[in-house]
């Protein structure tokens, strides 16, 4: 997600100490931890509501059809299903030879 190396992290920490002050950093970190925890809980709650809705309405087959990781797509079988003939192979066009004079 964020690509921070160790030097960049040190610069951010040094700036935070200078701007905020060393006494306020623990309070800020606790606040950030609470925000992250709440966001994770909201994501968990939304996922649970979605799963409950899918189970309640028997829509698991729709969910599985949307999940591309589980579904293996066979292009040849799809072509056979819709009676699509493969494209005829075309011979490559001949390029005229260039003679150096």
Q: What is the mean pLDDT of residues 55-69?
A: 71
Q: What is the mean pLDDT of residues 36-65?
A: 85
| Residue closest to 54 by CA, chosen among 70, 39, 67 | 67
CA distance 45 to 23: 35
* DSSP 8-state class, residue 68: T
12 token code pair: 């951010």
Cα distances (angstroms) measured from residue 90 to each of 76, 95, 96, 98:
20, 15, 18, 24
pTM here is 0.45
* DSSP 8-state class, residue 98: P
pLDDT tens digit string along 65-96? Answer: 776 554 555 666 666 666 655 566 665 566 66
pLDDT tens digit string along 2-23? Answer: 677 899 989 988 998 899 888 9
């Amino acid at each position: 997600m964020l690509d921070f190396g160790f030097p960049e992290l040190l610069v951010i920490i040094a700036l935070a100490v200078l701007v905020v002050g060393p006494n306020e950093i623990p309070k800020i970190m606790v606040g950030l931890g609470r925000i992250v925890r709440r966001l994770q809980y909201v994501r968990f709650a939304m996922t649970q509501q979605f799963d409950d809705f899918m189970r309640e309405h028997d829509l698991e087959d729709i969910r599985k059809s949307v999940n591309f990781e589980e579904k293996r797509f066979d292009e040849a079988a799809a072509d056979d299903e819709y009676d699509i003939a493969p494209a005829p192979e075309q011979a490559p066009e001949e390029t005229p030879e260039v003679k150096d004079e």
